């Protein structure tokens, strides 16, 4: 398949925009990107008629398929709140690909979603990136990309209701440290060659985090919780991402100094709890202007996943540069998740995930003219 006569936001490392070019796909990969009309034009040819092609959009933080739309409590599989430390849980074991929200995602041009356990626990479990098409989650998965760690109000209020620890921010941080220290000792004992320690599923699950093979995704809204995330990450030499980062705009200079990276959202929501008191749609603009790398998420089902493009539009309305906005749902989340070798840009050998719009993709009245995932038009 060759799509020609298109404006192409390649989102490659040269930030190249091709004003009139083509993309050639074979099976599930991009095999050629170029300017003008393709010299080799065998096979299916699609005239884009001057429309714009972007890499498939990526929602960098969701609970997609862990909260099945329209089902109620039976479909809620994202918070295992029986224990505040559950790193051994894997989001992939709870994702329901038959959830109608996958259809909603595809129809909005979202080709990849990062699916995380909920935030009721201090350590919540492993996060996976998945394509938004398919019947079997094993085939949709792009692999494990992080470990969810939560700070602030959510774990605090969850266990306050249970009359058990943690019920303060101090206790949340202490439990996280305790689990990480225990996993460090477990890992050292395994390496020592002495007596092999008794198998511990929680410690085993934390080893990739301690080895920096996956990132810590810190759920944090308030500025003090953001700094606690940075403190713990430094203490254990963790590679990390700040999820939500609601008060990031108040500390943008400090986050730039730390070379922090953040996933911002939800943007279209109310101030539903105390730690959202300083929520502002200018957060993306302020952080980006300060030089902090950002992506944008819906936190589905807090905001339905199909409203990711509108969320981006709200950020642009409030100052975010348009090109930075495109990066925030393509290149940047792909890099944050360690998946830029496969997704996030339109380049040779990348996955054939594309979305085409004839209008501004972030306007409320816009819909994709074409969505391609793994080389197949959806």
Q: For residues 18 and 35, give the distance between their C-alpha atoms in angstroms, rounded to a whole number.
A: 6
Q: Position of tokens 């308030």?
A: 222
Domain 57-343 class in CATH: alpha beta
Dihedral-angle region of residue 121 (phi above 0 means left; psi in -120 to 50 means alpha; beta otherwise): beta
Place of tokens 């065998």: 42
pLDDT at 332: 98
- Delimit the domains of the chain by residue range: 1-56+344-378, 57-343
> Which pLDDT belongs to residue 196?
87
Q: If the chain, 378 residues long, is cut into consecutive pieces of 10 residues, what is the mean pLDDT of each piece? A: 98 97 97 94 91 99 92 87 97 97 98 98 98 98 98 96 93 98 96 88 98 98 98 98 98 98 97 96 98 98 97 98 98 98 98 98 98 97
Q: How far apart are CA 1 and CA 291, in angstroms?
A: 39
d(CA 166, CA 160): 7
Predicted TM-score (pTM) of this structure: 0.97
**The two structure tokens encoding residue 181:** 């220290």
At residue 313, the pLDDT reads 98
- Locate tokens 């109608």: which residue? 100
Residue whose C-alpha is closest to residue 56's, from 18, 104, 105: 105
CA distances from 354 to 292, 294, 315, 361, 362 (A): 26, 21, 22, 13, 16
Residues whose CB falls within 8 Å of the CB of residue 71, separated by 6 or more in sequence, listed in order: none
CATH of 1-56+344-378, one of 2.60.40.10, 1.10.3720.10, 2.30.40.10, 1.10.1670.10: 2.30.40.10
Distance CA(260)–CA(371), nearest Å, equals 32
- The pLDDT, as a whole number, for residue 45 is 96
| CB contact at 8 A, 111 and 132 | yes
Q: What is the pLDDT of residue 43?
A: 81
Residue 161: predicted pLDDT? 85
């Amino acid at each position: 398949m060759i799509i020609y006569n298109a404006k192409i936001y390649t989102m490659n490392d040269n930030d190249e925009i091709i004003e009139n070019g083509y993309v050639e796909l074979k099976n599930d990969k991009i095999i050629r990107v170029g300017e003008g009309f393709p010299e080799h034009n065998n096979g299916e040819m699609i005239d884009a008629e001057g429309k714009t092609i972007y890499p498939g959009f990526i929602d960098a933080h969701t609970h997609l398929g862990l909260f099945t739309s329209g089902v109620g409590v039976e479909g809620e599989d994202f918070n295992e709140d029986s224990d505040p430390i559950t790193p051994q849980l894997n989001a992939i074991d709870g994702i329901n690909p038959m959830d109608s929200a996958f259809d909603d995602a595809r129809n909005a041009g979202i080709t990849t979603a990062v699916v995380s356990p909920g935030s009721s626990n201090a350590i919540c479990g492993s996060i996976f990136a998945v394509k938004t098409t398919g019947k079997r989650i094993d085939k949709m998965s792009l692999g494990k990309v992080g470990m969810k760690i939560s700070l602030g109000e959510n774990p605090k209020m969850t266990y306050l209701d249970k009359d058990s620890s943690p019920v303060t921010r101090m206790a949340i941080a202490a439990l996280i440290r305790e689990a990480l220290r225990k996993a460090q000792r477990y890992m050292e004992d395994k390496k020592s060659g002495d007596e092999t320690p008794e198998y511990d599923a929680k410690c085993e699950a934390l080893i990739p985090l301690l080895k920096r093979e996956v990132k810590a995704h810190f759920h944090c809204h308030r500025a003090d919780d953001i700094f606690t995330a940075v403190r713990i990450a430094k203490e254990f030499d963790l590679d990390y991402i700040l999820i939500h980062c609601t008060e990031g705009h108040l500390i943008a200079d400090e986050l730039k100094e730390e070379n922090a990276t953040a996933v911002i959202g939800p943007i279209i929501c109310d101030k539903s709890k105390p730690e959202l008191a300083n929520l502002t749609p200018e957060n993306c603009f302020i952080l980006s202007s300060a030089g902090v790398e950002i992506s944008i998420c819906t936190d589905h089902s807090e905001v339905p996943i199909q409203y990711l493009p509108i969320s981006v539009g709200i950020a642009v309305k409030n100052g975010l540069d348009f090109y930075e906005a495109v990066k925030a749902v393509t290149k940047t989340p792909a890099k944050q998740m360690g998946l830029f070798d496969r997704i996030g840009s339109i380049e040779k050998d990348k996955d054939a995930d594309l979305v085409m719009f004839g209008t501004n993709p972030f306007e409320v009245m816009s819909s994709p003219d074409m969505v391609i995932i793994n080389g197949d038009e959806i």
